[in-house]
Structure 1
């Protein structure tokens, strides 16, 4: 199984200008994703999808030496990642260098990952002959405490079958898609035009307590605190 570790890193960013090269705990944000991708397995090929020459140059400095640049029309705020993935696969097909049957999506905006978890997920994916697998984390805000508001009324997202007096009585397994990784076969992506499909995608529970998907500067500051702590361990 040849796996393309697809790392999307376009140049434009409204929330944090230059986000992918923003310095976090001593390194550009992009460093943490590329560094992990290179360590996963010899059959996992790191691939940087960017429209930005500065980001491309940084990728080259870390050993990613292909000549690919993402077209500008696939690098706008409204561009879908799946379209960028498909374009990259067509590029590889035309180059005739290597064929991939599986895509591992690693977003630079989720720099806090556990390498052994990614490796374990790939092993499970192979052994169970899955088509789609996504990383999830237990919800910190339990649905018994989450509220949906509609105009002047509101309701809890979920309600217990019986009265509970503390969190120890909260039941059910509730997760959120933490953005750490998405894994799918090329065939699955072609058929569904998505990495995650309800009823088809399997879940991989991460043991991370805090998973960050960076969108605002405050997210970057939180990620820096966690990464600095990891580097000291």
Structure 2
């Protein structure tokens, strides 16, 4: 099985200008995702999708030497990642003799990953012949304590079946999609136009306690603190 490790890194960013090349813990943000992708199975092919010449040059400095550039119409704030994935897949298949069976989406904005977890997820995906697998993390805020508010009323997202006196009574397994990775077969992507489909996608529980999806500068600072701690271990 050949897997395209798709790394989306467009040039535009409103929250943090130049986000993908923003320095964090001694390297550009993009470094951590490319570095991990290069350490995966030999049949996992790192692929950088960008419309930006500086980002492309940085990718080449790390060994990603293809000639692909994402079209501008697929690199706007409103562009869907799945459209960029399908465009890149078509380009790759026309430019290479390697047949791609699945796509591993690795977003640079989620730089905190555990290499062994991603490797284990790929192995499980192959052995179980899955069509779609996504990384999830246990919710820190339990739904018994989360509320949905309207204009004049509110309600809990989830309610216990009986009286609860402490967190030990918080039952149920609740997760969120942590952004670490999305993995799906090419056929699944073509049929569903998405990596995640309720009732079809399998869950891979990550051991990460803190998962960061960087959108604002504050997120970058939190991620940097965690990365620096990991580098010292």
TM-score range, shorter chain: over 0.9
The 8 Å contact of residues 133 and 184 in structure 2, kept in 1 or not, is answered as yes
Distance, in Å, in 1 between the alignment partners of 2:17 and 2:126 is: 38
**How much does 1:165 deviate?**
1.1
After the TM superposition, which residues 1-233 of structure 1 pair with which residues of structure 2 at under 5 Å, given as runs? 1-233=1-233
What CA distance in whole angstroms lies between the structure 1 residues aligned with 2:221 and 2:171?
A: 33
CA deviations over 1:104-143 (Å, ceiling 9, x no partner): 0000000000000000000110111100000000000000
What are the ranges of 5 or more consecutive residues in structure 2 without an aligned counterpart?
none
Larger deviation, residues 85-94 vs 16-25: 85-94
Partner SS for 1:15 = coil
After superposition, the CA RMSD in angstroms is: 0.5
- Whether the 8 Å CA contact 2:93–2:100 is kept in 1: the answer is no
How much has 1:56 moved relative to structure 2?
0.2
Provide the secondary structure at the position in 1 that maps to 2:7.
strand
Structure 1, unaligned stretches of length 5 or more?
Answer: none
The TM-score with structure 1 as length reference comes to 0.99
Aligned with 1:20: secondary structure? helix
Rounded to whole Å, the distance in 2 between the matches of 1:228 and 1:32 is 12
Q: Cα deviation per residue 1:142-162 (whole Å; 9 max; x = unaligned)?
A: 000000011110000000011
2:155 match: secondary structure: strand
CA deviation vs aligned residue, 1:66-104 (integer Å, no higher than 9, x gap) = 000000000000000000000001101221332201000
Q: Secondary structure at the match of 2:14?
A: coil
How many Å separate the matches in 2 of 1:194 and 1:170?
A: 32
Deviations 1:141-195 (A, max 9, x none): 0000000011110000000011111111100000000000000000000000000
* Matched residues, number: 233
How does the TM-score come out when normalised to structure 2? 0.99
3-state SS, counterpart of residue 134 of structure 1? strand
